[in-house]
């Protein structure tokens, strides 16, 4: 039972970070380039790199109280993850999913000081605001309902994608 509780807590955190990352990317694309681009995986509102990233950051910074330290450390770590992911994705899948071409202080169009600061700020907000909220949900009676609902939503979307060959219709 402890293992199930452990998994649901981190699954909820992963799902929230993946959704927030998706929303951030969709909004940025719309604001910067004036068009809608679904940046999710399998047409889901879900960017798993943000989920994995926040789990890594949570494990590293969960006991750190100082927001500036979280900001700086998170900016460095997320930049390293982003740079590594860009090379790995390009090597294995021959695609470049993002580019910081034209951004100030970028390296090889793969990372940027501006995006690093944004990711550091997002990490502070997530760790100081969202994680306490998920811990309140986790300690409440609705934790299992929340975790199962999130899991069922993603399973439904994946099954829909496989059966129908396209995303879940939106209103």
The model carries a pTM of 0.79
Weakest-pLDDT range from 17-21, 73-77, 112-116: 17-21
CB of 54 closer than 8 Å to CB of 24: no
36-42-48 Cα angle (round to 5) = 90
Is 169 a member of any domain?
A: no
Residue 107 domain flag: yes
Name the percent of the chain in helix, strand, coil, to the closest 5: 70, 0, 25
15 in a structural domain: yes
Element (H, E) at 141: none
Banded pLDDT at 171 (limits 50, 70, 90): very low
- Which has the closest alpha carbon to 168: 39, 47, 43? 43
Distance CA 4, CA 14 (A): 15
Q: Kindly provide the b/e burial profile for residues 62-80, where b requires at least 16 CB atoms within 10 angstroms of the residue's own CB.
A: eeeeebeebbebbbebbbe
Residue 128 lies in a domain: yes
H or E element in which residue 159 lies: helix 143-164
Q: Is residue 141 part of a domain?
A: yes
Q: What's the domain range around 40? A: 2-164
Looking up tokens 């390009």, which residue turns up?
A: 90
pLDDT in tens, 23-80: 998 998 899 888 888 777 666 788 888 999 999 999 999 999 999 999 999 999 999 9
Report the domain count for the chain.
Answer: 1
47: tokens are 């960017």
Model pLDDT for residues 125-168, shown as the tens digit of each residue: 999 998 888 778 777 777 677 777 777 877 787 777 777 765 55
How far is 128 from 46, CA to CA, in rounded Å?
Answer: 21
Q: Quote the DSSP letter at residue 78.
A: H
Contact in structure between 45 and 22 (CB atoms under 8 Å): yes
In a domain, 170, yes or no: no
Instruction: Please report whether residue 99 resides in a domain.
Output: yes
Q: Whole-angstrom Cα distance, residue 153 to residue 113?
A: 35
Residue 52 placed within a domain: yes
């Amino acid at each position: 039972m402890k293992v199930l509780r452990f998994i649901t807590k981190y699954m909820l955190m992963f799902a929230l970070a993946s959704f927030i990352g998706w929303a951030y990317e969709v909004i940025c694309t719309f604001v910067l380039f004036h068009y809608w681009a679904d940046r999710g995986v399998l047409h889901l509102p879900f960017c798993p790199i943000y989920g994995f990233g926040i789990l890594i950051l949570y494990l590293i910074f969960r006991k750190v109280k100082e927001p500036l330290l979280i900001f700086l450390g998170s900016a460095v770590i997320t930049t390293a993850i982003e740079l590594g992911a860009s090379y790995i994705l390009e090597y294995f899948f021959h695609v470049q999913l993002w580019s910081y071409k034209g951004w100030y202080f970028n390296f090889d169009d793969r990372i940027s000081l501006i995006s690093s600061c944004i990711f550091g700020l997002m990490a502070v907000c997530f760790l100081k605001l969202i994680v306490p909220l998920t811990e309140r949900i986790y300690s409440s009676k609705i934790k299992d309902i929340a975790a199962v609902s999130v899991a069922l939503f993603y399973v439904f979307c994946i099954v829909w994608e496989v059966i129908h060959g396209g995303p879940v219709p939106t209103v």
